[in-house]
Structure 1
Amino acid sequence: MKIAIVTDSTAYIPEELLQKYDIHTIPLSVVMEGETYRENVDITTEEFFEKMAQMEELPSTSQPSIGDYILLLESLYRDGYTDVLSFHLSAELSGTYQNAVAAGRSVEGINVHVIDSQIACFVQGFMPLYAAQNKDDMSLEALIADMEEMKKRENMNAYLLVDTLTNLQKGGRLSNAQALVGSLLKVKPILEFQDGKIIPYEKVRTKKKAKKKIEDIFAEELKHQEDKNITAVVIHSNAEEEGRGWMNELQEKFPHVKFTLSYFGPVIATHLGEGALGLGYTNYDVRID
C-alpha cells in the first residue's frame, strides 16, 4: 500500500512543507474581469490584492473541475499510489469536496478517501500535515478514523475577524446601509465555524477589542485541554505585519502553544476582504516546521 496525501490550495500550506511531507495540491481559482486565475499558480496573493483594489465588482471564485481532479489521480496512479487521502475546505463553502468524490469514482485502480475538513485555510491544512506525518505509522483505517475525530469542534477550531465590510457588502451579504452604519460604528464582526458553515459569533466595536475577545475565547477553550499539545495559527489578509505582531503577543501569553503565521489567499480573501485576521488551532500534535 502506498498512500498519497492531497489537499486543495485553500489550505495555504507553505511550499517547503508541501515538499517536505510530499503533499499534493489542487488549486481553486478566482475570476477577475473575465480572466480565470488558479491561486498560487497563475496569480500570487500580492498580485490578487493589487488587482482587487482596482475593481468595482467583487471577484468570483471557482472549485477545481472534476477533469482536473481526474488528471491528478491518474498521475498518482501512474506513480504507484494505491490510496489517496484527500482533504478539502468545508463542503458548505465550496463544491471542491463533491468534485473530489466524483473524480474518485471515475478513476480505476486507486482508492480515493475524501474528507470534508468542515473548515478552511491553514486550520484545514493541519489535517493533511498530520496525515502525512503519521501515515507510515498507522493503518489506513486508523488514520481515516483519526482524521474524522480530529476535525471535530473540540479538537480543531477557528475564529475570524473581518476588518472591512466592503467585501461582504459587494458580495451581497450586507446591504449598503448596513455597511455604512457598520463602518461608521467601526463594527468588527467575529465569525466562527459551525457544522462547516461560517456564522456570526459576535459584533465588537474596534479591532483591538475584537482581537481581545478572540484571545479570551481561545484562553477559555484551552482551559479544558491542559494535557494536549496545542498547535495554533494566526492568519492575515494582506496584513502580515499586524498578523505577525498579534502572533508574537499570543506566543507570550500562551507559551505552551506552538504558533505559526499564515495568510488568507485569493479565494478566501475574496469573501473576507483585506485586513481580516484569524486564529485557529488543533489539539493534535502537528509539526509545522
Structure 2
Amino acid sequence: MSYKIVIDSCGELLDEWKKDPRFESVALTLSVGGENIIDDENFDQASFLKKVADCPECPKSACPSPERYMRAFDCDADHVYAVTLSAELSGSYNSAVLGKSLLQEENPGKQIYVFNSKSASVGQSLIAMKIQECEEAGYSFEKVIETVEAYIADQHTFFVLDNLETLRKNGRLSKVKALVASALKIKPVMGSTDEGAICQLDQARGMNKALVKMAQNIVDKTKDSENKILAISHCNCRERAVLLKNALEERMPVKHIVILDTAGVSSMYANDGGVIVAV
C-alpha cells in the first residue's frame, strides 16, 4: 500500500524527506511588520530573525487553509496522514480536519487521518518518523493510527528559550502562571501538557543552567529511553544543541538523537537561541 505524510510547516523535515514525494510540508504564513512570509523551502532563517529583531511589533502566524490541506490530501496514495502542531496552540489541526472532510465529500472512500501532535517542531517530526516506520512495517491503516496515537500519548516536549515574548504576546502561554522577570536572567524550562498546551517545569538563572535542568527533566520523564529516538531542534544555536545532545547521552541511553534546524514557525516562536526537545 502506498502512503503520504503531510506535515504543517511547524514540523521540521528530515533532509531525505525534502526529496521524497511521499512527504509534503504545508506552509503556515508568518507576518512581521506588515510583511507576509510563506514558511516553505525558501524560508531564510537569518533574514527572518533580523526582521523580527528590527520590528517593534510581535510577529504572528496564520495556519494553512482547509483548501490547502485538501489539495495535499488529493493524491494517489492509499493512506494519507497529516501531522499538525498542537490544537491547543494553532488552528492548523482544525483546518486539516476540515480539508479532510472536504475531500471525502468528493471521494468518500479516501483514507485520511489527521494527527493532533499535541506538540510542535521536532515533536511532529518524530510522529512522522513513527508513521513511516509503521507503514514500512506493513501495518494496516487502522493499526498505524492506533500505534501512532499511543506514541503521541507517550511523547513529551521540552524547551528553553532566550526570549518568551513571542509566545506570550500571541497568547500561547495562557496556561502558565506568572513568569519571573527577565531582568533576573531567569530562564524557565518549559514543557508540554498531556493536552498539548505549554507548562513551566522548572527554572534556572542563565541559559546553561536552564539547559542542565531541562536535561534532568528529560531524563526523569523518559521511560524506556534506550528504545526511543530523541530529537532536538535549535534556532541559530547548533553548538547549544550539540552540548545538550552530549549531556543527554551521558545521562541516559538513547536509541538515536537527531538534530534539526528550526523552520519558520518554530523559529518565530523559539526566537534566536531557542532549543526544543521531543522524545
TM range, smaller chain: 0.7 to 0.9
Please say if residues 236 and 263 of structure 1, whose CA atoms lie closer than 8 Å, have aligned partners that are also in contact: yes
Q: CA deviation at 1:73?
A: 2.4
Match of 2:219 in 1: 219
Q: CA deviation at 1:43?
A: 2.4
1:62-141 pair list within 5 angstroms = 62-74=62-74, 76=75, 80-107=76-103, 108-109=106-107, 110-136=110-136, 137-141=138-142
Please say if residues 203 and 213 of structure 2, whose CA atoms lie closer than 8 Å, have aligned partners that are also in contact: no
Q: CA deviation at 1:237?
A: 1.8
Match of 1:163 in 2: 162
Is 1:12 aligned to 2:12, yes or no?
Answer: yes
Q: 1:51 to 1:141 in 2, by over 3 A?
A: same
* 1:190-216 Cα shifts (integer Å, max 9, x gaps): 111111101222232222221111121
Q: CA deviation at 1:57?
A: 0.8
Please say if residues 9 and 264 of structure 2, whose CA atoms lie closer than 8 Å, have aligned partners that are also in contact: no
Instruction: Return the letter of the residue paired with 1:250.
Output: L
Match of 2:272 in 1: 274
Instruction: Return the letter of the residue paired with 1:132.
Output: Q
Q: 1:95 to 1:236 in 2, by over 3 A?
A: same
Please say if residues 2 and 81 of structure 1, whose CA atoms lie closer than 8 Å, have aligned partners that are also in contact: yes
Please say if residues 22 and 132 of structure 1, whose CA atoms lie closer than 8 Å, have aligned partners that are also in contact: no
Which ranges of structure 1 fall in alignment gaps of 5 or more residues?
Answer: 282-289
Q: 1:6 to 1:71 in 2, by over 3 A?
A: same
Q: Distance in 1 between matches of 2:2 and 2:255?
A: 33
Q: Distance in 1 between matches of 2:62 and 2:83?
A: 17
Match of 2:150 in 1: 149
Match of 2:242 in 1: 244
Percent identity, aligned pairs only, is 25
Instruction: Return the letter of the residue paired with 1:164.
Output: N
Q: 1:143 to 1:172 in 2, by over 3 A?
A: closer
* 1:38-57 Cα shifts (integer Å, max 9, x gaps): 11344222221121121111
Match of 1:23 in 2: 23
Q: Distance in 2 between matches of 1:3 and 1:274?
A: 35
Please say if residues 7 and 86 of structure 1, whose CA atoms lie closer than 8 Å, have aligned partners that are also in contact: yes
* 1:154-199 Cα shifts (integer Å, max 9, x gaps): x21111112124435655779xxx88x7222111011111111012
Q: 1:82 to 1:255 in 2, by over 3 A?
A: closer
Match of 1:183 in 2: 182
Q: Distance in 2 between matches of 1:207 and 1:50?
A: 21
RMSD: 2.4
Q: 1:211 to 1:21 in 2, by over 3 A?
A: farther
Q: CA deviation at 1:24?
A: 1.7
Runs of 4+ in 1 over 4 A off after TM superposition: 168-174
Please say if residues 150 and 156 of structure 1, whose CA atoms lie closer than 8 Å, have aligned partners that are also in contact: yes
Q: Distance in 2 between matches of 1:83 and 1:172?
A: 35
1:48-63 pair list within 5 angstroms = 48-63=48-63
Q: 1:21 to 1:260 in 2, by over 3 A?
A: farther
Q: How many residues align?
A: 269
Q: Normalising to structure 2: TM-score of the pair?
A: 0.87
Q: 1:84 to 1:165 in 2, by over 3 A?
A: closer
Which ranges of structure 2 fall in alignment gaps of 5 or more residues?
Answer: none
Instruction: Return the letter of the residue paired with 1:139.
Output: S
Q: CA deviation at 1:259?
A: 1.1
Q: Secondary structure at the match of 2:10?
A: helix
Q: CA deviation at 1:266?
A: 2.5
Please say if residues 126 and 231 of structure 2, whose CA atoms lie closer than 8 Å, have aligned partners that are also in contact: no
Please say if residues 187 and 206 of structure 1, whose CA atoms lie closer than 8 Å, have aligned partners that are also in contact: yes
Please say if residues 49 and 238 of structure 1, whose CA atoms lie closer than 8 Å, have aligned partners that are also in contact: no
Instruction: Return the letter of the residue paired with 1:259.
Output: I
Please say if residues 191 and 201 of structure 1, whose CA atoms lie closer than 8 Å, have aligned partners that are also in contact: yes
